[in-house]
């Protein structure tokens, strides 16, 4: 079992003192002994070592851990937060999602120190000062007769303070095992996404009873929400996220049940909550997944419907095993997320082996020595809903037979034997009147070392069963989000050089190691591992042939093309956006047929035209995508064809110009300017402050970023908002596409950009593009130059950016005054018009120079009564009215090019409608309309 720790360490956290009158009288409310009418001030809170007796026979309080802000968090919004450097980060440095190393979690004991508690966050940790905490208010609103706002002092004054030992578990605990079978939508939790502590606060049920929810008497269906009838309680925290604040909900009847012990908590293990764990106030829901426990709690709303928060729907669901990650992520998969049948509330039964840890070794008895040496196997087990774990069993033959049940250790029972009441900090810590069990138990089992050595399966299997006879299943059942994995926990046993070495299934995060990864590499099935030949015979797996290791390279080639040699000259002919060829693992592929079909957009292909795309392609594409690649196989690249054409040599002198069309360049975010509710100008730095960008007007750059905690690489084309007059930086204008009913995931790239903090990096490549404004009213397009005197500009949403680049180039060029412009700009609402003030200012500059620049804004959504623009969508009538007449059609390629050109950029549906509309208006679309 884990070693004991000091029972009475001091704590770092202190709280605001009470009133002067109470300090002088020495009185306290002792956890809420006063009544609402008494008006007494709250108790004086003290440090843990001063706060009164914590019985020496209770489970020892965690050792105090001195933690400080870490260098890894520098440059993030969490740079101020003290953290333990041992924690395993699962999503990079920000946001902070982590678990303790399994050995450290176990050695800390039954009560987990706050710095070693696992953390699940979606954004920055709210920075709340001590004064702000004293003034913090939680609002109770909605269908209640008595709407209220409570400070934490109010909660202590009005309601009894209670403490409850509670285990918190992320629904993703042990998810990496699922990801080793098939990569899902979640990041790689190991088996330490679990922690245990004594939470102090007030019962949510007491607060709700005080506010009196409205539940009219009558016959109502039990499973149906009825308008005006309180049935749910929604909770919302203070953390600001791109898709709204974090929120979720509980059924009202559960929330009002004191036996379920839901808490509004301010304390953990005798000290105040730390910032990462919800300081100053959080919701704690014993027996349920951690995702139901809102931190930095601000709002409680009693409602006739469940929470409408984005993450209440798009997280913490177990979807059917038949639903793939791609299907779940797609628009067609929306119904899976909104169906209440798939929501997770209560924890399932789960357990893990902590001793021996991964790669631990123990010596074997030498030949002729006494064969009675024993070793101890230990671990944790938990279950949900207030139930109790009743049985933990071990198997040496992978479940064919089971050892006698392990010894179970329930430290929480100490609080049943000797209750703690009216404590200055804990209030009442008394489990003598409840049968509920909300904490993990520990277990241990002694076994002969020789029996481990002789294990028929060469593995140690573990299962737990709770009092409802819910047992851990034999095999892993995959689901798209990797939630609630609780199959038998298996540890491999290897007899090596006179020692036994133990191999856990996985290691948390991106660390390599564990038998599941090894089985995958060997071509086996991690759901049905075979640790040695003896195990195969014992499991009678003769009819289950070993999975052949897939030859991925052969899968991606056509036999008839693999010997065709592609020279450097041939590749160069297709290093363009029209007929892009690219290289993967030394073979050349033609991406032209797939430009319109690629799920990431055609830019994902044109971006690597003429280049080696092996690293990105192999990292982010599924086996199905690699199999499909053979359809586009052209041949094998000649040896040496790419020499000297790829990256800039490391350590070379920085060039005068930043951009390089054949090289990804790292760039840090140096500032962010919000210009509307959903539009931002992001400024990224170049290699050095005096460097020029090197961007021809009208062309674009590609941006590439790999979200933290994801294996996916996202890349998109953007036309800079700045021009070459900006030295040392580049400005990118983005419109953040928020989730909607029709677009539930929001914009993939803009969601990542919205989360970026100053100092975060992405990669840029460019310039690229088939259209260039050259000055003197001249443009180059499709390899030919032409003078443009009339320019029609049609855009929607963020499609304004390439249009902006061109018209700004026109106004800044004194020799282009003969070019006149007409613009149609379509958006949903006036607030959605991107960079409207910038466009209006540019129009004024045109007019001051006596140059024509007509703008007509069209709004498809709700408009104000005084809106003087267009309503509806861009259509043929608007094109005829607000654009110049179409140019005359050319009779032959030799005929002089007309001086009228249209530039179009917007969402695919808009571009399609515009293409058909311009054709109807008489435009020669292939030769006079540029689609960016």
What's the pLDDT tens digit per position in 351-380? 999 999 999 999 998 776 777 899 999 999
Q: Are 810 and 822 in contact (CB under 8 A)?
A: no
Q: Is the pLDDT of residue 615 over 70?
A: no
Q: Which domains does the chain have, with CATH numbers?
A: 350-538 (2.60.40.650), 552-637 (3.10.120.10), 655-769 (2.40.30.10), 771-932 (3.40.50.80)
Distance (Å, rounded) from C-alpha 608 to C-alpha 563? 23
Residue 337 parent element (H or E): helix 334-338
Q: Is the pLDDT of residue 647 over 50?
A: no
Which residue among 315, 466, 612, 760 is the active-site one? 315
Distance (Å, rounded) from C-alpha 254 to C-alpha 274? 27
Give residue 657's pLDDT.
Answer: 86
- Better pLDDT: 397 or 849: 397
- For the question of whether the overall pTM of this predicted structure is more than 0.85, the answer is no
Q: Is the pLDDT of residue 172 over 90?
A: yes
Mean pLDDT of the 288-305 span: 97
Mean pLDDT of the 745-765 span: 83
Q: How confident is the model at residue 911 (pLDDT cuts 50, 70, 90)?
A: confident
Give residue 533's pLDDT.
Answer: 55
Give residue 782's pLDDT.
Answer: 74
Say how many C-beta atoms besides its own lie within 10 A of residue 560's C-beta: 9
SS (H, E, C) 874-889: CCHHHHHHHCCCCCCC
**Residues above pLDDT 70, as percent of the chain:** 85
Q: How confident is the model at residue 523 (pLDDT cuts 50, 70, 90)?
A: confident
CA distances from 251 to 219, 298, 316 (A): 18, 19, 16
pLDDT tens string 193-227:
999 999 999 999 999 999 999 986 655 555 667 78
Most confident of 163-177, 238-252, 534-548: 163-177
Q: How confident is the model at residue 895 (pLDDT cuts 50, 70, 90)?
A: low
Q: Are 383 and 349 in contact (CB under 8 A)?
A: yes
Give the residues across from 288 on adjacent strands. Answer: 346
Q: Are 349 and 464 in contact (CB under 8 A)?
A: yes
Q: How confident is the model at residue 710 (pLDDT cuts 50, 70, 90)?
A: low
Most confident of 264-268, 369-373, 542-546: 264-268
Give residue 556's pLDDT.
Answer: 86
Q: Is the pLDDT of residue 750 over 80?
A: yes
Give residue 49's pLDDT.
Answer: 47
Mean pLDDT of the 183-196 span: 93
Residue 502's closest CA among 380, 364, 399?
364
Q: Is the pLDDT of residue 840 over 90?
A: no
Q: How confident is the model at residue 46 (pLDDT cuts 50, 70, 90)?
A: very low
Q: Which residues contact 751 (CB under 8 A, 6 or more apart)?
A: 242, 243, 736, 737, 745
Q: Is the pLDDT of residue 189 over 60?
A: yes
**Which stretch of 229-243, 447-461, 606-620, 642-656 has the lowest confidence by average pLDDT?**
642-656
Distance (Å, rounded) from C-alpha 284 to C-alpha 204? 9
Q: How confident is the model at residue 164 (pLDDT cuts 50, 70, 90)?
A: very high
Give residue 331's pLDDT.
Answer: 56
Mean pLDDT for the chain?
Answer: 83
- Better pLDDT: 146 or 43: 146
Say how many C-beta atoms besides its own lie within 10 A of residue 852's C-beta: 12
- Better pLDDT: 623 or 512: 512
Give residue 492's pLDDT.
Answer: 96
Give residue 622's pLDDT.
Answer: 55
**Which stretch of 114-128, 431-445, 611-625 has the lowest confidence by average pLDDT?**
611-625
**Which stretch of 213-227, 300-314, 682-696 has the lowest confidence by average pLDDT?**
213-227
Mean pLDDT of the 745-774 span: 83
Give residue 38's pLDDT.
Answer: 31
Encode 747-773: b = buried (16+ Cβ within 10 Å), e = exposed: bebbbbbbbbbeebebbbbbbbbbbbb
- Better pLDDT: 780 or 455: 455
Give residue 699's pLDDT.
Answer: 84
- Better pLDDT: 848 or 491: 491
CA dihedral 83→85→89→93, nearest 10 degrees, is 70
Which residue among 78, 84, 170, 832 is the active-site one? 170
Instruction: Please indicate whether residue 170 is annotated as part of the active site.
Output: yes
Q: Is the pLDDT of residue 646 over 70?
A: no
Give residue 644's pLDDT.
Answer: 47
Mean pLDDT of the 630-653 span: 67
Which residue among 179, 188, 269, 316 is the active-site one? 316
Q: Is the pLDDT of residue 744 over 50?
A: yes
Report whether the peptide linkage leading into residue 665 is cis, meaning its omega lies within 30 degrees of zero.
Answer: no
- Better pLDDT: 282 or 795: 282
Q: Is the pLDDT of residue 42 over 70?
A: no
Q: Which residues contact 786 (CB under 8 A, 6 or more apart)?
A: 778, 779, 897, 898, 899, 901
Q: Are 612 and 588 in contact (CB under 8 A)?
A: no
Instruction: Please indicate whether residue 813 is annotated as part of the active site.
Output: no
**Which stretch of 252-256, 482-486, 788-792, 794-798 has the lowest confidence by average pLDDT?**
794-798
Q: How confident is the model at residue 463 (pLDDT cuts 50, 70, 90)?
A: very high
Mean pLDDT of the 13-19 span: 29
Q: Is the pLDDT of residue 27 over 50?
A: no
Q: How confident is the model at residue 34 (pLDDT cuts 50, 70, 90)?
A: very low
Mean pLDDT of the 635-641 span: 86
Q: How far is CA 634 from the centre of its chain?
A: 38
Give residue 22's pLDDT.
Answer: 28
Q: Is the pLDDT of residue 28 over 70?
A: no
**Which stretch of 3-7, 495-499, 781-785 has the lowest confidence by average pLDDT?**
3-7
Q: How confident is the model at residue 654 (pLDDT cuts 50, 70, 90)?
A: low
Distance (Å, rounded) from C-alpha 712 to C-alpha 705? 9
Q: Is the pLDDT of residue 129 over 50?
A: yes
Residue 715 parent element (H or E): strand 714-718
């Amino acid at each position: 079992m884990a070693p004991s720790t000091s029972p009475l360490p001091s704590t770092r956290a202190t709280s605001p003192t009470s009133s002067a009158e109470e300090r002088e009288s020495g009185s306290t409310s002792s956890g809420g002994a006063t009544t609402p009418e008494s008006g007494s001030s709250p108790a004086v809170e003290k440090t843990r070592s001063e706060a009164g007796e914590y019985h020496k026979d209770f489970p020892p309080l965690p050792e105090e851990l001195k933690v400080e802000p870490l260098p890894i968090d520098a440059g993030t919004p969490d740079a101020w937060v003290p953290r333990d450097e041992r924690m395993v980060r699962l999503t990079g440095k920000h946001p902070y999602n982590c678990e303790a190393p399994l050995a450290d979690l176990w050695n800390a004991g039954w009560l987990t120190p706050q710095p070693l508690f696992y953390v699940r966050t979606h954004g920055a940790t709210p920075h709340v000062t001590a004064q702000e905490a004293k003034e913090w208010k939680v609002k109770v609103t909605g269908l209640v007769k008595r709407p209220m706002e409570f400070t934490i002092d109010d909660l202590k004054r009005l309601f009894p303070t209670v403490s409850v030992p509670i285990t918190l578990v992320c629904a993703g605990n042990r998810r990496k095992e699922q990801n080793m079978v098939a990569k899902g939508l979640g990041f790689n939790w190991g088996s330490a996404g679990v922690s245990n502590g004594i939470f102090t606060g007030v019962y949510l049920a007491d607060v709700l009873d005080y506010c009196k929810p409205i539940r009219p008497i009558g016959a109502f269906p039990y499973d149906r929400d009825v308008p005006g009838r309180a049935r749910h309680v929604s909770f919302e925290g203070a953390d600001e996220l791109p898709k709204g604040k974090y929120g979720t909900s509980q059924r009202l009847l559960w929330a009002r049940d004191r036996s379920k012990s839901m808490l509004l908590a301010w304390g953990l293990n005798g000290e105040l909550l730390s910032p990462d764990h919800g300081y100053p106030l959080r919701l704690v829901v014993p027996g349920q997944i951690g995702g139901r426990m809102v931190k930095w709690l601000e709002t409680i709303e009693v409602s006739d419907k469940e929470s409408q928060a984005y993450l209440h729907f798009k997280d913490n669901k177990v979807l059917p095993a038949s639903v793939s990650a791609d299907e779940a992520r797609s628009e067609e998969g929306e119904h899976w997320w909104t169906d209440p049948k798939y929501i997770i509330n209560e924890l399932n039964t789960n357990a893990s082996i902590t001793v021996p840890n991964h790669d631990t070794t123990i010596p074997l008895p030498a030949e002729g020595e006494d064969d009675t040496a024993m070793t101890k196997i230990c671990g944790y087990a938990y279950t949900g809903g207030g139930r109790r774990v009743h049985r933990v069993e071990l198997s040496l033959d992978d479940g064919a037979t089971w050892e006698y049940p392990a010894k179970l250790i329930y430290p929480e029972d100490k609080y049943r034997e000797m209750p703690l009441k009216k404590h200055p900090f804990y209030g009442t810590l008394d489990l003598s009147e409840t049968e509920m069990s909300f904490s993990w138990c520990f277990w241990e089992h002694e076994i002969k070392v020789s029996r481990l050595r002789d294990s028929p399966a060469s593995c140690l299997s573990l299962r737990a069963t709770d009092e409802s006879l819910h047992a851990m299943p034999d095999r892993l059942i995959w689901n798209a989000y990797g939630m609630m994995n609780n199959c038998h926990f298996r540890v491999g046993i290897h007899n090596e050089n006179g020692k036994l070495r133990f191999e856990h299934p996985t290691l948390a995060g991106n660390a390599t190691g564990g038998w599941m990864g090894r089985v995958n590499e060997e071509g086996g099935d991690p759901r049905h591992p075979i640790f040695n030949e003896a195990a195969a015979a014992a499991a009678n797996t003769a009819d289950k042939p070993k999975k052949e290791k897939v030859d991925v390279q052969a899968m991606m080639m056509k036999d008839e093309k693999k010997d065709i040699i592609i020279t450097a000259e041939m590749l160069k002919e297709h290093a363009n956006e029209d007929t892009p060829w690219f290289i993967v693992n030394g073979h050349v592929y033609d991406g032209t047929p797939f430009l319109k079909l690629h799920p990431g957009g055609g830019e994902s292909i044109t971006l690597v035209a003429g280049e080696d795309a092996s690293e990105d392609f192999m990292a982010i594409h599924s086996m199905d995508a690699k199999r499909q690649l053979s359809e586009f196989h052209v041949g094998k690249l000649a040896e040496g064809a790419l020499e000297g054409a790829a990256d800039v040599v490391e350590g070379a002198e920085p060039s005068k110009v930043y951009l390089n069309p054949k090289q990804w360049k790292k760039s840090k975010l140096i500032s962010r300017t919000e210009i509307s509710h959903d539009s931002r100008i992001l400024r990224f730095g170049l290699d050095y402050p005096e460097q020029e960008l090197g961007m021809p007007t009208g062309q674009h750059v590609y941006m590439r970023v790999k979200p933290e905690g994801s294996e996916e690489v996202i890349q998109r084309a953007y036309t800079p908002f700045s021009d070459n007059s900006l030295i040392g930086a580049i400005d990118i204008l983005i419109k953040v596409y928020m989730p909607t009913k029709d677009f539930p995931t929001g914009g993939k790239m803009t969601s990542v950009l919205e989360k970026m903090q100053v100092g975060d990096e992405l990669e840029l490549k460019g310039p690229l593009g088939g259209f260039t404004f050259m000055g003197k009213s001249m443009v180059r397009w499709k390899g030919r130059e032409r003078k443009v005197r009339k320019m029609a500009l049609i855009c929607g949403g963020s499609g304004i950016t390439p249009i902006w680049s061109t018209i700004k180039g026109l106004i800044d060029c004194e020799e282009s005054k003969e070019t006149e412009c007409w613009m149609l700009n379509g958006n949903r609402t006036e607030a959605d018009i991107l960079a409207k003030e910038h466009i209006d200012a540019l129009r004024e500059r045109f007019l001051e120079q006596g140059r024509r620049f007509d703008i007509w804004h069209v709004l498809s959504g709700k408009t104000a009564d005084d809106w003087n623009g267009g309503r509806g969508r861009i259509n043929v009538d608007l094109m005829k009215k607000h654009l110049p007449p179409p140019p005359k059609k050319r009779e032959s390629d030799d005929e002089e090019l007309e001086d009228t050109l249209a530039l179009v950029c917007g969402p695919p549906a808009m571009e399609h409608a515009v293409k058909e509309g311009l054709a109807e208006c008489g435009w020669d679309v292939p030769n006079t309309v540029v689609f960016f």
